[in-house]
Structure 1
Amino acid sequence: MKIAFRCDASERVGTGHVMRCLTLARAAMTQGHEVCFFVSDIDAALEKRINATGIRIIRLPSLEYGCQQSSVAIEAEYETSQQETEARYFLSTVAGYQLDWIVVDHYGYGEPWISAIKRAGYCLLLIEDWPHRKVSADLLLDPRPGAVASDYQEYIRSEKVLSGSGFNLIREEFFAEPCSSSRRVQRVLLNLGGYDHRGLSADILDALASEDFVNKLSFTVLLSQSSPAFSRIQSRSQSSEYPFSVNLIDHCDDMAGLYRSHDVCIGASGGSLWERVAMRLPTALVIVADNQKPQASYAEDNGLVKVVADYSGTAGSFDTSAFRSLVESDEVRQSMQDSSANLIEKSGSRCVIQAVENTKPEGMTLRSAIVSDMRDFYRWQKQPGARRFFRTPQLPRWSQHRRWYQGVMSDASVSLYIVLFNGEKAGYVRVDGAVTSSKSSSVGSSLGSSEVSILISRNFRGRKLAVNALKALVSRYPETRFCADVAPGNFASRKVFKRAGFQKTGGRRYEY
């Protein structure tokens, strides 16, 4: 399969969406699937990291809108018009990649964006953090430990939900060697995510600077240089204003090793929370957004962390007393490690990919044809009357069909798609000519554009599959001009193409 990931990383939303998609993408690659990332916002360091894995990144256009995105909550869904516009740009960009599944991990995209992608015949997996909206995705993944399918019963059917620790998106390296128990806390890691755009790291260090119990501690602060806290911490550290030592770093290539080298972590309640749980690193948890509250509550209720701050609103403060109890109590830290020991035993990313492989999407979908579909093409053409209006009505011998199919599969100017109905093969669509060409272009088949033909098995007729497949095709390639050559007397095909929005332009020719 060819799987596309739609996600972004920025100072406002952090790096978590991209990192968990990267975990899932690497699992897909080990299963033999092709993957690529489509992003509109990502920094150079993260882009370099993804490229190092051999995954291709395709840039989407950054669109300007009348409202300022910075004034909208991080987890807020975009306005409908914005989602529809971005869906059109996305479909135009992915045209020609012949994708089978699209994985979207993006707060801004809800049902308007998802339904536009589904109309184009794609299968879609949505990654969510908390139940809050109805969606028509083929699969919904909530990888948080403690999440259950019934949480989403108001929004999507439970059999479409992958949830809980068995489907976690934690990288394999966080399970290799857990953190050891420490009888005395000496080294503290402070990491509030990839960017900390609000500068909370500096506020926390300022709050701790007035406490005497931290004077002998050593702090490592992992923080992007783009964070407003970076220069504040750097300045105070260089002028020795902190009563404790501070090692300020702006990146880390080995997070598992960084966790192991520390006794306690002050960390945000994002995706990295579960990395620390898997590593059994005692954590003082900081909530920085409303959507983090459910998993923070679950983690604290199960003895995995101690919540020390809630900055989800406009105000918040760091509970130094709660942090002190974690630092000074061996029993509290050991209890956290014991509670974490059996909660997450291994990465669940392969289980997610297996679920994708085994999913039979509802309704009509399109996927790229593969070698093993060869016999299905021949079987459909053997059905009575199937080739009646073909340019060559005579059924070829199997050896001829095999040579034809192998030639078409290796021809970059021809695209073959399987029409699926509820996951079952129901027919095919063939496109001759470049499906990425502009509607103003005359490049394509002999008819002057990309020529489309379609065949639906007799067993699946009467379900409007031909019409819906053609509508999906033109939605999938909005910048392509399509045409069809409909033979005289083929009244059924005329009706199908008209219902799909094609117009007769003369003789046998229909255009879209």
Structure 2
Amino acid sequence: MKIAFRADASVQIGTGHVMRCLTLAEELRRQGHQCLFVCRDHKGNLADLIGQKGFELHLLHTPDLTENLADEGSELPHADWLGVPLQLDADQTKEVLSDHNLDWLVVDHYALDARWERQFIEPVSQVMVIDDLADRDHECEVLLDQNLGRQPKDYDDRVPLGCKKLIGPQYALLRPEFSEHRSASLERRRSPELKRILISLGGIDQKNVTGQVLEALSKSILPQDTLLDVVMGRAALHLESVKKLASNIPFDTKVNVGVSDMAMRMYRADLAIGAAGGTAWERCSLGLPSILFILAENQESGAKALVDAGAAMTPEKGSALTEALSSLLDSLNKDSGLLTKMAEAGAKFTDGKGAEKVCDSFVISKECGGE
């Protein structure tokens, strides 16, 4: 089969949408299918990474006259993420795809909805949508929402009657190395200690939460032999300032950029301080306890569900970051059993094989439905 992906990365959007599409595309390619990407040329795009992964890429040009127009009349909360009017984006995408005989189009974009998607029913055999919000209508054969707490009924009035709904973190799009490291990682959690902390707060980290966390940790009660493993994206806005800060704090701190061994880093870590987005499922698959930071509105419900399940902690709202982190770390140091409980709770949500399960849905015909 031949599958196209329409997803964007930018300073505003972040990198998560393209990254999870890359994970799905790599699994599809592993199974013998051909994939290509269509992305807009936003600042902070991941064109280089997509090319490095060996996928065909078509960048959509953003005309100067439309740069700030987006869909001014749109009711979609994230309409401005597109950067151009919806119809212009649809027309540009159709032009790119007109030379390809596609079996599927995968759409992962908060600024696109059924108005855009239904224009591809004729030129493309089937459409799959990846969403997290359930805040707009979709025209698709398959709908994926990998968030904890989401229910199929949340999309009952948003998708066609026969749409196949893939709901929950068991469908989380994780690279194969997470399932490969799962067994050894879960075994490691049976003898917990707090000596190595992984810090990863998104590919862009627009608000420099990484720097704020390092500042707070530098004043914390952590033992001097604690190792801090900081992971940042190549497009991270505050990379240089974080590197400078890391060289001046009283712990062995390493800043790593654009890593390809995240599963191994999570396996080796005793605790993660990370964003409450898609990487939360990577940590859960390996039973890695987490302190979560909510970096976007759409992460709030998932973070709450993980905390309620005992799989993660979040800093107390309204508290100064240094005091909030110190309080959480103090709790973990006093009761190492908390790390084990968090690991066990998180590991129940996903086995790391969500991408394989989602790929199975690409053989579903338009006539197949279900929940």
Contact between 2:192 and 2:337, CA under 8 Å: does it hold in 1? no
Match runs of 1:246-261 below 5 Å? 246-261=253-268
TM-score (norm. length: structure 2)? 0.85
Residue of structure 2 in register with 1:77 after alignment: 79
Q: Give the 3-state SS of the residue equivalent to 1:235 in structure 2.
A: helix
Once the two structures are superposed, what CA deviation does each residue of 1:40-97 show, in whole Å capped at 9, x if it has no partner? 248999545444544222222234435388xxxx971348971111100110111111
Provide closer, same or farther for how the CA distance between residues 185 and 322 of structure 1 changes in structure 2, counting only shifts above 3 A: same
Once the two structures are superposed, what CA deviation does each residue of 1:142-186 show, in whole Å capped at 9, x if it has no partner? 123443311222322565221123422111110112332253211
Provide closer, same or farther for how the CA distance between residues 310 and 22 of structure 1 changes in structure 2, counting only shifts above 3 A: farther
Q: Does the alignment pair 1:164 with 2:171?
A: no
Q: Does the alignment pair 1:116 with 2:123?
A: no
What percent of counterpart residues are identical?
28
Provide closer, same or farther for how the CA distance between residues 327 and 130 of structure 1 changes in structure 2, counting only shifts above 3 A: farther
Residue of structure 2 in register with 1:91 after alignment: 94
**2-structure distance, mates of 1:111, 1:35:** 23
1:200 Cα deviation (Å)?
1.1
Match runs of 1:93-108 below 5 Å? 93-108=96-111
Provide closer, same or farther for how the CA distance between residues 183 and 166 of structure 1 changes in structure 2, counting only shifts above 3 A: closer
Task: Name which of 184, 187, 191 aligns with 2:196.
Answer: 187
* Residues 98-107 or 343-352, more deviating: 343-352
Task: Name which of 276, 280, 291 aligns with 2:283.
Answer: 276
Task: Name which of 224, 230, 241 aligns with 2:239.
Answer: 230
The answer for unaligned runs of 5 or more in structure 1 is 363-421, 423-512
Residue of structure 2 in register with 1:391 after alignment: none
- Aligned CA RMSD, in angstroms, stands at 3.1
1:208 Cα deviation (Å)?
2.5
**2-structure distance, mates of 1:150, 1:166:** 17
**1-structure distance, mates of 2:12, 2:316:** 19
Q: Which amino acid aligns with 1:348?
A: G
Provide closer, same or farther for how the CA distance between residues 75 and 326 of structure 1 changes in structure 2, counting only shifts above 3 A: farther
Task: Name which of 201, 204, 215 aligns with 2:213.
Answer: 204
Residue of structure 1 in register with 2:4 after alignment: 4
Contact between 1:144 and 1:163, CA under 8 Å: does it hold in 2? yes
Match runs of 1:56-455 below 5 Å? 56-64=56-64, 65-67=66-68, 76-78=78-80, 82-118=85-121, 120=123, 122-157=125-160, 159-160=162-163, 161-178=165-182, 179=185, 180-181=188-189, 182-213=191-222, 215-224=224-233, 226-238=235-247, 240=248, 242-308=249-315, 317=321, 319-320=324-325, 321-360=327-366
Q: Give the 3-state SS of the residue equivalent to 2:181 in structure 1.
A: coil
Once the two structures are superposed, what CA deviation does each residue of 1:292-330 show, in whole Å capped at 9, x if it has no partner? 11111111111111122679xxx9846221243234431
Match runs of 1:26-45 below 5 Å? 26-41=26-41
Contact between 1:287 and 1:310, CA under 8 Å: does it hold in 2? no
Contact between 2:234 and 2:258, CA under 8 Å: does it hold in 1? no
Once the two structures are superposed, what CA deviation does each residue of 1:410-449 show, in whole Å capped at 9, x if it has no partner? xxxxxxxxxxxx9xxxxxxxxxxxxxxxxxxxxxxxxxxx
Q: Give the 3-state SS of the residue equivalent to 1:175 in structure 2.
A: helix
Provide closer, same or farther for how the CA distance between residues 207 and 306 of structure 1 changes in structure 2, counting only shifts above 3 A: same
**2-structure distance, mates of 1:98, 1:37:** 14
Q: Which amino acid aligns with 2:98?
A: A
**2-structure distance, mates of 1:100, 1:25:** 14
**2-structure distance, mates of 1:216, 1:45:** 38
Q: Give the 3-state SS of the residue equivalent to 2:153 in structure 1.
A: helix
TM-score (norm. length: structure 1)? 0.63
**2-structure distance, mates of 1:316, 1:62:** 41
* Structure of greater relative contact order (alpha carbons < 8 Å, 6+ residues apart): 2
Q: Which amino acid aligns with 2:240?
A: S
**1-structure distance, mates of 2:48, 2:212:** 31
Once the two structures are superposed, what CA deviation does each residue of 1:362-417 show, in whole Å capped at 9, x if it has no partner? 9xxxxxxxxxxxxxxxxxxxxxxxxxxxxxxxxxxxxxxxxxxxxxxxxxxxxxxx
Once the two structures are superposed, what CA deviation does each residue of 1:337-386 show, in whole Å capped at 9, x if it has no partner? 11133332241223222222113169xxxxxxxxxxxxxxxxxxxxxxxx
1:25 Cα deviation (Å)?
1.4
**2-structure distance, mates of 1:108, 1:120:** 21
Residue of structure 2 in register with 1:22 after alignment: 22
Q: Which amino acid aligns with 2:172?
A: N
Runs of at least 4 residues off by over 6 Å: 42-45
Q: Which amino acid aligns with 1:67?
A: N
Structure number with larger C-alpha Rg:
1
Provide closer, same or farther for how the CA distance between residues 257 and 165 of structure 1 changes in structure 2, counting only shifts above 3 A: same
Q: How many residues align?
A: 355
Q: Which amino acid aligns with 1:162?
A: L
Q: Which amino acid aligns with 2:212?
A: D
Provide closer, same or farther for how the CA distance between residues 349 and 207 of structure 1 changes in structure 2, counting only shifts above 3 A: same
Contact between 2:129 and 2:140, CA under 8 Å: does it hold in 1? yes
* Residues 14-23 or 268-277, more deviating: 14-23
Residue of structure 2 in register with 1:415 after alignment: none
Once the two structures are superposed, what CA deviation does each residue of 1:442-499 show, in whole Å capped at 9, x if it has no partner? xxxxxxxxxxxxxxxxxxxxxxxxxxxxxxxxxxxxxxxxxxxxxxxxxxxxxxxxxx
**1-structure distance, mates of 2:339, 2:118:** 47
The answer for unaligned runs of 5 or more in structure 2 is 71-75
